[in-house]
Chains A and B, each alone.
Chain A
Amino acid sequence: MSVRAQIGAVVVKDVRSEVRNRYAINALVMFVVTAVATILFALRSEQPGPATLAGMYWVVIFFSAMSGLARIFVSEEERGTALTLQLTTSPGILFAGKLAVNTGLTLLLTLSVSALYIVTFPGFVIRSPDIFALTVLLGSIGFSASATILAAIIAKANSRGTLYPVLSFPILIPLLMTVMNATEKALEGAAFIEAVGDMQVLVGYCLIMIAGSFLLFDYVWND
């Protein structure tokens, strides 16, 4: 029995389901478009600096991700298919599959927001592509690891809509501060050595969140 094939099946199931239902994609696209449009209206002709742009970039990603990534477990509870999953696969395999799907969605989100920012904000010029690429990659993994376990927790709660951003904010603060800092350096054109500390924090955050989530998920998912 191949664990990789089982995880792959969870991914195929979720991707195919997403393509047909667009539970998460619609929420993500709507939030990105409205948030970027609102920022553009608010700024008018002002040109914000790298620190402000980096902050705005991750704020849009944070709220978009929070509006879309929770669907990964909430939709299973709402449709009554959570029991089907419990009877079909182990918690570890399920979590790995869901984490892979959410990481893919977050990467898609960050790439889309990056493209949108490059087109709409003249000051958003990536001068250190190596720092930016690694920040986006590790930031997406960190975001999705936190979002996936939080989605599993809130899927079991009653007040799902409000609970998600409230719970996720304190957990994501260290990640948000680090990715904003690293993105600012990427926009300023800093040398990679200057961002090594941020990368170490990001790698540490990802490892802790993934390991902690795997340990916790069994208790969240099963009675």
Chain B
Amino acid sequence: MRSSSVKLDSVSKRFNRRTIFEKVSASVNAPGSLAITGRNGSGKSTLVKILAGVLSATEGKVSLTVDGHEIPRELLYQQVGFVSPYLMLYDEFSAAENIRLLESMRSGRRAADTEIDSLLDMVGLAHRRNDRIGTFSSGMKQRAKYAVALIHRPAMLILDEPTSNLDAEGIAIVRGVAERQSTSGILIVATNDSEEAGWCSQQIPLGIG
């Protein structure tokens, strides 16, 4: 297990003059987990995008440290796995192609068939390995996103609305993924659901005060 930690230091975000959240602070050391909760529009998705490095904070600092080295923002993608309903995969590629191409773009390495098969098996999509994502239901697409997010064994796994579109079997799979990540690395969950928030050892409520 790699040593890693993430720290939010007085992070604020404003879009034009509208303040989304102000001075949010928290820190998580691996193994550990953090739930970001709050009503609709409280800025949960904005905060996880800041954590993933795709949005910048208006004020404050986010730092991810892996094996004693602070990861610069432009290299966060190598250490972060991200799943959300608004994240899209390529409809014209199969589930296996999506995993292989996105992993090649991320690391330059060609993922082995056995790795891809084992991930697709874990999310219950082994039988649809070579079918185009465009033919998948929304729940199956959500499962495929987990396979893409886990192929590089991320130090920090960020789940925004983790069980969106999933059936009972899918929710159980995600729960297993969350448990494994929170005991081996950093898990961040953004959710309205108190049960999903309960997967994590710490909580930040947004939109209060």
Task: Give me the interface of A with B, judged by CB distance under 8 Å.
Answer: 1-6, 8-10, 12-13, 16-17, 20-21, 79-81, 83-93, 97, 218, 222-223
Does B88 contact A9, Cβ atoms closer than 8 Å?
Answer: no
Contact call B86/A89, Cβ cutoff below 8 A: no
Whether the Cβ atoms of B101 and A87 lie closer than 8 Å is: no
| Given the contacts A83-B54, A91-B74, A9 and B93 also touching, CB distance less than 8 Å | no
Roughly how many angstroms separate A21 CA and B55 CA in the complex, as a whole number?
Answer: 30
Given contacts A84-B89, A223-B56, contact A9 B80 (CB under 8 A): no
Cβ–Cβ contact B86 & A6, under 8 A: no
Asked if B69 is at the interface (CB within 8 A of a chain A CB), the reply is: no
Q: Could you tell me if A80 and B52 are in contact, using CB atoms closer than 8 angstroms?
A: no
Instruction: Give min CB distance, B170 to chain A, whole Å.
Output: 20
Q: Which residues of B contact A9 (CB under 8 A)?
A: 101, 104-105, 108
Residue tally, chain B, CB below 8 Å to A: 26
Using A13-B90, A17-B92 as known contacts, list a sample of 20 further A-B pairs with CB atoms less than 8 Å apart, ordered by residue number in A.
Answer: A2-B108, A5-B104, A6-B104, A6-B105, A6-B106, A6-B107, A6-B108, A9-B104, A12-B101, A16-B93, A84-B89, A84-B102, A86-B77, A87-B80, A89-B105, A89-B106, A90-B74, A90-B75, A92-B74, A222-B56
**Interfacial chain A residues near B89, Cβ < 8 Å:** 81, 84
Determine whether B87 belongs to the interface, using a CB cutoff of 8 Å to chain A: yes
- Give which listed residue, B82, B86, B93, B102, contacts A80 with CB less than 8 A: B86
Say yes or no: B74 contacts A1, CB within 8 Å: no
- In the bound assembly, the distance between CA atoms of A9 and B48 in angstroms comes to 27
Q: Are B106 and A81 in contact (CB under 8 A)?
A: no
Query: How long is the Cα–Cα vector from A78 to B117 in the complex, in angstroms?
Result: 30
**Pair B107/A87 contact, Cβ less than 8 Å:** no
A79 to B108 CA separation, bound complex (whole angstroms): 24
Interface flags for B83-119 (1: CB within 8 Å of A; 0: not) read 0001111111100010001101111110000000000
Contact, CB under 8 Å: A1 / B107 = yes
User: A17, A89, A92: which contacts B77 (Cβ < 8 A)?
Assistant: A89
A1 to B97, CA, bound (A): 20
CA distance A4 to B108 in the complex (A): 8
- Chain A: CB-nearest residue to B84: A83
Evaluate contact between B102 and A20: CB separation under 8 angstroms.
no
Report Cα–Cα, A218/B74, bound state, in Å.
Answer: 9
Partner pick for B54 among A10, A16, A79, A87, CB 8 A cutoff: A87
User: Measured between C-beta atoms, what is the minimum distance from A42 to chain B in Å?
Assistant: 39
Closest to B74 in A: A90
Distance in angstroms between the alpha carbons of A85 and B82 in the assembled complex: 12
